[in-house]
Amino acid sequence: MKIRRDDPRLMSASRPYAGPLYLQISDLLRERIHSRGWVEGQALPNEGDLAREYGVSVGTMRKALEQVEAIGWISRRQGRGTFVANPEATSARRLNPFFNRDGHVLPESVEVRSIATRAVLPEEAESLSLDEDETVVSVVTVRKTDGVLALYDDMAIPSRLVPGLVESIAAEPQSFASYRSDYGLLVTSVKEAIKAAALPDEVATALGLPAASPALLTRRLSLDADGEPIDICVRYAVAIEAEYRVELS
């Protein structure tokens, strides 16, 4: 099916500024992956076929695919083609870039220490693009893999993005691990400040570690593919047998 230039999906009301054509096509490709129109591991048609389907030049399609590849939703394999990646797995690696010799490390179990709705703090409002009278869902969680990695997260999520989350987590705390995918929120980029710190007593107790243990203290803002804030997180991380890795491209 060829998509016409005047197709309303290219100029949807959700995009007040449509931007260059390659970005519009990139949006359509992302939506197709997110909606499972293409599934993980599936090979994409070649650039020429995709360009004809979407009614654009090969150069425009190539730039669109580069945008989707940059956020980790597709991968190109030399001599084999382009394949759909797992957006949720890519998101998890961006949010938790800890690795050991066996690969990516992410404790599977999540202990929700507290969850509540509260007024947004002034510094949060600026980062999350919220008005001062709006609210956030405040969540404190602990993730641990004994002898490998311990994470203490204090998060703030705009309430309007996650209606019913407090009640849902109160009824089923383990469901918090999948809250982003449950609400259709996919992290494609982060802004993060990192420094060395000693664990405060309260955090050390929650993690079952000695007070003042050395840790990484991070303040992370998570963004979606359109650059809109998803959540903000203050994290204490103790990497016992893991390391923090960042790839720049």
List of domains in the chain = 8-85 (1.10.10.10), 97-244 (3.40.1410.10)
Looking only at the bridges linking them, the beta strands covering 229-239 and 214-223 are: antiparallel
- Measured at the alpha carbon of residue 248, what is the angle toward residues 244 and 249, in degrees to the nearest 5? 155
Residues 4-63: pLDDT tens digits? Answer: 444 444 444 344 445 789 889 988 998 888 787 888 889 999 999 999 999 999 999 999
Please, what is the average pLDDT of the chain? 86
For residue 152, the model assigns a pLDDT of 97
Mean pLDDT across the stretch 134-155? 94
| Helix (H) / strand (E) containing 83 | strand 81-84
Which pTM was predicted?
Answer: 0.72
CB 233 within 8 A of CB 151: no
Residues 34-47: pLDDT tens digits? Answer: 787 888 889 999 99
List the one residue out of 41, 53, 9, 4 whose CA is nearest residue 28: 9
For residue 153, the model assigns a pLDDT of 96
Instruction: Kindly state the percentage of the chain with pLDDT values over 70.
Output: 91
- CA–CA distance, 84 with 91 (Å, rounded to integer): 14
